[in-house]
Chain A
Amino acid sequence: DTGVSQDPRHKITKRGQNVTFRCDPISEHNRLYWYRQTLGQGPEFLTYFQNEAQLEKSRLLSDRFSAERPKGSFSTLEIQRTEQGDSAMYLCASSLERGSTDTQYFGPGTRLTVL
């Protein structure tokens, strides 16, 4: 399967702990996005990379959140000092820049539960 993959699929942690999620985009896709989805809501944009450069961050991305894409391939999203409000599905998407538009393809998500 050459789709977007995310690891882990599920994470349970205690409040105050740090967690890190990984996303592997579709090969050769130069854009990578992180979204967060809480129960009953649509996904909300967190941040976006073009190659290794982080070009846009939502105000939802507090200073406890950090994302990296060091070599322009896989990406990691770290949450420090987790809070119960961080419980959500974290989704990664990738796309190939193509003229004036591109299509984002999503991974299966990582479901985070903060106890």
Chain B
Amino acid sequence: DAKTTQPPSMDCAEGRAANLPCNHSTISGNEYVYWYRQIHSQGPQYIIHGLKNNETNEMASLIITEDRKSSTLILPHATLRDTAVYYCIVRWAGAGSYQLTFGKGTKLSVIP
């Protein structure tokens, strides 16, 4: 799986949009971008994933650049409960290994 690079930490004011970047410059055509988050002492929570197109669900939006070398997770109106470690993961979509390879993620702190 391609490696991802994320900033170690970010701050965001409550009520503002949180934009979390991720670089995955070696991503291949058959690899998806997944985002998970982990609130302190809980299991990781799935947020969203995409291949080429931008995606939106009730939690967030995922913007993938046209060359697919980077992506941004957007939380439109951050709340204190969004304080967590956010993991960007690139995952092979073909048959074979289905494991998720987590990095250290970005620690997002939402500030009142």
Contacts and interface: CB of A to CB of B under 8 A. Distances in A.
Interface in B38-64: 41-46, 49
B32, B97, B99: most-surrounded residue (chain A CB, <10 A)? B99
A92 to B, nearest CB: 8
A41 interface: yes
Nearest to B34: A103
A106 B102 CA distance: 13
A48 B99 contact: yes
A77 B95 CA distance: 25
B93 A43 contact: no
Given A41-B104, A42-B103, A101-B32, A106 B43 contact: yes
A105 B94 CA distance: 19
Interface residues of A, number: 27
Interface in B7-63: 30, 32, 34, 36, 41-46, 49
Contact of A45 (B87, B94, B100): B100
For chain B, what secondary structure do more than half of its interface residues adopt (helix, strand, loop), or is it mixed? loop
A91 B100 CA distance: 12
Contacts of B41: 111
Contacts of A13: none
Interface in B77-93: 85, 87, 91, 93
A21 interface: no
A29 to B, nearest CB: 12
A35 B101 CA distance: 10
